[in-house]
Structure 1
Amino acid sequence: MQSNDDILCILHMLQIIIGVFGNGLLLFLYGFNLVTGQRIRPIDTIFVNLFLSHIIMILFRGVPTAIQVCIQKIFLSDTECKIIVYLQRVARGLTLCNTCLLSVFQAITISSNNNKWAKLKANAPKYIVPSCVFIWVLNLLVDVVVPLHVTGPGNNTFNHLKKNLGYCSIDWHAITTSNLVMWKTLYDAVFLGLMAVSSGYMVSVLFRHKWQVQNLHNTCINPIATPETTASKVILLLMITFVCFYSVSSIFVIVMEKSKDTSQWIIHMSVIFSSLYSTLSPFVLISSDSQILSCCNIFKRKKNVLIFIH
């Protein structure tokens, strides 16, 4: 049993360290771009919001579980448990909404230049900051009643109705019998639907562009990809990654809700998969975003110059 706990402890700690490092590095790189006068793209605001939601998710979802499994004890009051679970759900909603906004904005960016889309493309960057603010306010409000059904591990009131999360307990019965589940399911479905539509549109545009280029060149040599095409492929990869981990995480949540005695392994796997997109997605961007790579090269050259001077 001790060896199982050690494995889980290592997994949680690795995920926290890698996730915070990746998201923190991207926040630093975008800040470095701003300080050095590099061109900031409108989409970078969405990325920054996405990185912040990732860090919140990793810290408030992974750290309490890591402490619980590594130290084997955790003392949280009711208030602390309510805040932690509330921020977990806010971070999950922020990740969903920001990923959806990223997909929708990129779909608008690569849309055709006809009269129907031209005005929308021109005005889209102006609505990014208001959209990000709206997303934060919306997610802070949508789960505001969840803390009412969360208690600390020392509170045994109606314990037979509560599900143990390891460090806190949540009254699934009260949540599932209320309208909260219905509204939350509808909420997720709307943003997942927007994500699916925008991603499908991007795929169709990319295929149409590839077909037109092949007809024009009539050669086997692959043409150089445009920045918009590369960005669209990266965002599509992020969409696929998000949907995969979101689906697996949702399966674990359903299993936890339906089972009378939830296994600790199910709880820990649910935590790992719910944070896995937040952990891995920064490295997808680091390896694919030309602006991040150029920023790294500039930083490397500045560092070499400083070393040479000294």
Structure 2
Amino acid sequence: MAFRDLAMAMVYFSQTLIGTVGNVLLLYHCSCLHFTKSKLRPTDLILKHLLVANSLVILFRGVPETMAAFGLKDFLSDLGCKLVLYVHRVGRGVSIGSTCLLSVFQVITISPRNSRWTDLKLTAPEYVSIISILCWILHMLLNTIVLMYVTDRRCHKNITYRKEFEYCSTIRQQKSRTILHAALLFLPDALCVGLMLWTSSSMISILYRHKLRMQHVRKTNFTQRSSPETKATKTIILLVSTFVCFYSLSSIFQALFTLYNNPDRFLVNVAAVVTGGYPTVSPFLLIKHFPCISNLTDCVRNKKTYNVKRIMQLS
């Protein structure tokens, strides 16, 4: 095995391991809140969908890339290739949608009472679950297109135009059909990115106006401490900024893949790392927002206490 392949294999493996651990920790936190009967916020539900989607992106992209970098080339069948890329695309789409929903919900939450979001403050939490489920359904339907042009490398069909990757290949279709499929997959992402940029600018504006008002308050406990809503808003702005950076880089690489029939292996490797960048980094950006993560022993203790109480009630 060449040193370059070994280095990329270690990068894939490290990214997959770190991202999986981060997402599992946050999922454990959400489960801890559920078992201890703590009051769940609408953002907790959104984060559950985000973390599950991130885990799918990491596992269904990182694991095959790691295996291919270690020298296993044709380890997926035609069905396996379709399943891996389909689940990866669905997870990626839901991850984008969940991040967008999180930013929209937060700007509604922190908006002033006399703003145009006043009516939505009461009704928005009721629709979080429905919107999250619709997001999964939408991307599951849209990404059925992926099943049409993905195949394994061992396919013996007479296919003239085909892009070869390490463990799968894609079939080049007619130009008009390719443009239509690309538009169907790109429009939801573009809409979500646009909403995230708009909500982020709105949240920054709200926080800035709030800071100006607080400058006129003489009490130090109001000027030195930030409210939980302000901390959560800053975390979400950082999360959205990170996503936009990784998404922009990923879009550039996708455009390069469209231009070149057989893209260089280095571009494929970098694109794979960039694709897994946001799902890997995002849980660690959110960890400060969850005190239970920084002190898992308290979470375990609360869960054991709840289990003991349940046993005593049943007995």
Mean CA deviation greater in 210-219 or 259-268: 210-219
- Per the TM alignment, residue 30 of structure 1 is displaced from its structure 2 partner at its CA by 1.1
Task: Output the amino acid matched with 2:152.
Answer: G
Q: 1:1-310 maps to which residues of 2 (within 5 A)?
A: 2-114=2-114, 116-157=116-157, 159-174=159-174, 177-217=178-218, 222-286=223-287, 288-293=288-293, 296=296, 298-299=298-299
Contact 2:73 2:166 in 1 (8 A): no
Contact 1:238 1:281 in 2 (8 A): yes
Aligned alpha-carbon RMSD (Å): 2.4
Mean CA deviation greater in 170-179 or 54-63: 170-179
CA distance in 1, matches of 2:302, 2:26: 18
Tell me the number of residue pairs that the alignment of Structure 1 and Structure 2 aligns. Answer: 304
Please give the per-residue CA displacement for 1:64-90, whole angstroms capped at 9, x wherever unaligned: 111111133332211111111111111
CA distance in 1, matches of 2:14, 2:160: 34
Contact 2:25 2:293 in 1 (8 A): no
Task: Output the amino acid matched with 1:179.
Answer: L
Call closer, same or farther: CA 1:13–1:79 in 2, change over 3 Å.
same
TM-score by length of structure 2 reads 0.89
TM-score by length of structure 1 reads 0.91
Contact 2:26 2:293 in 1 (8 A): no
Mean CA deviation greater in 223-232 or 78-87: 78-87
- Per the TM alignment, residue 44 of structure 1 is displaced from its structure 2 partner at its CA by 0.2
Aligned to 1:308: none
Call closer, same or farther: CA 1:138–1:232 in 2, change over 3 Å.
same
CA distance in 2, matches of 1:205, 1:97: 23
Give the match's secondary structure for 1:167: coil
- Per the TM alignment, residue 268 of structure 1 is displaced from its structure 2 partner at its CA by 1.3
Contact 1:33 1:295 in 2 (8 A): no
Give the match's secondary structure for 2:113: coil
Contact 2:292 2:298 in 1 (8 A): no
User: Which 4+ stretches in 1 moved above 6 angstroms?
Assistant: 218-221, 300-303
Give the match's secondary structure for 1:145: helix
Contact 2:214 2:222 in 1 (8 A): no
Give the match's secondary structure for 1:125: helix
Give the match's secondary structure for 1:71: coil
Mean CA deviation greater in 150-159 or 251-260: 150-159
Call closer, same or farther: CA 1:5–1:143 in 2, change over 3 Å.
same
- Per the TM alignment, residue 158 of structure 1 is displaced from its structure 2 partner at its CA by 5.1
CA distance in 1, matches of 2:66, 2:14: 10
- Per the TM alignment, residue 117 of structure 1 is displaced from its structure 2 partner at its CA by 2.5
Mean CA deviation greater in 183-192 or 155-164: 155-164
Mean CA deviation greater in 185-194 or 217-226: 217-226
CA distance in 2, matches of 1:71, 1:128: 44
Contact 1:149 1:174 in 2 (8 A): no
Mean CA deviation greater in 132-141 or 69-78: 69-78
Please give the per-residue CA displacement for 1:221-243, whole angstroms capped at 9, x wherever unaligned: 94210011000000000000000
CA distance in 1, matches of 2:166, 2:208: 47
* Runs (5+) with no aligned partner, structure 2: 306-315
Give the match's secondary structure for 2:92: helix
Give the match's secondary structure for 1:170: strand
